[in-house]
Amino acid sequence: MEDWEMAELHYISGLSLLSESRYILAIDYVKEAIAYFNQEILMERSIECLIILGIAQKNSGVLKEALVTFERAKEINSKIATCEFNGMIEHNIGSCYSLQKHSQQALNHFFISLDAKQSPDDKIVTIFSILKEYHKNGDLPNALVWLEVGLQTIEYLYDSKKDLYTNHFSVYRAILLENQELILIFKKTLGYFEEKQDYKHCMIYCHVLAKRLAETKQYKQASIYYELGFHYHLMQSKVSSWEELS
């Protein structure tokens, strides 16, 4: 294979491994691709690789390294005419700060990202992150504002993303508006994510529902969803019993 073909193969492999949550291998492959693209001064490809690298680092928990990677992507991006990557880079910088518990810095970058994005399909990702950030900090008035922004934006999404974010936002709507049919809403959301084999979000929302039920002294129901959440954790880990987790 030619060098450029090998670089493209490394890039595609890194992207594929990232989608499968195999972050260490994704980092190794994409670093190989970056070396070639930098050498050939292929700026846009370098930025794409740096974004993949940064996300893999962020999801691996090496947040300082991820921030350095995203800042490097931002620096290269500032030197080319296109603004295509601005929103994605700023969003991921915000996500890193959020994971570091630097909430105000996270929000600042999320807002910059939102301004840089054009399509509703791109904007909804950052709107959801802003909602989560406010909710995480207990700022319920602002969480309600961004819940409404999200619900309005969902109307303009393509069908695949519309279904996804309708389910995400329905959970926050039920919690923030203290909907009395909380269990029914969560059951519908869990059904959606289970059908998509997205066991990570099944596990998360089971925990959220169980905690909410325990807070209202519905302990029997809470225990059911704590157990169901652990079941989804096993499925996410691709094992059948707790002994196989270690």
For residue 233, being part of any structural domain is answered with yes
* Positions in the chain short of pLDDT 50: none
Q: pLDDT tens, 149-188?
A: 999 999 999 888 999 999 999 999 999 988 788 999 999 9
The rounded distance, in Å, linking the Cα atoms of 200 and 186 is 15
In a domain, 210, yes or no: yes
Query: CA 221 to CA 206: how far, in whole Å?
Result: 11
Tell me, yes or no, whether 143 lies in a domain. no
pTM score, whole prediction: 0.92
The candidate with the shortest Cα–Cα distance to 238, out of 24, 20, 13, 57, is: 20
Is residue 43 in some structural domain?
no
From the list 209, 202, 200, the residue with the least C-alpha distance to 172 is 209
Cα 145 to Cα 92, 95, 105, 127, 172: the distances in Å are 22, 20, 19, 11, 12
Would you say residue 175 lies in a domain?
no
Q: Whose CA is closest to 97, among 56, 129, 140?
A: 129
Total domains, the chain? 1
d(CA 129, CA 145): 13
Looking at the domain assignment, is residue 207 inside a domain?
yes
End-to-end CA distance of the chain: 41
Q: Which two tokens stand for residue 216?
A: 């209202």
Asked if the structure places residue 27 within a domain, the reply is no
User: Which 3-state string (H, E, C) describes 175-196?
Assistant: HHCCCCCHHHHHHHHHHHHHHC
Which residue range is the domain that position 189 belongs to? 180-246
Please report the sign of the dihedral spanned by the C-alpha atoms of residue 228, residue 234, residue 240, residue 243: negative
Classify residue 244 by its DSSP letter: G
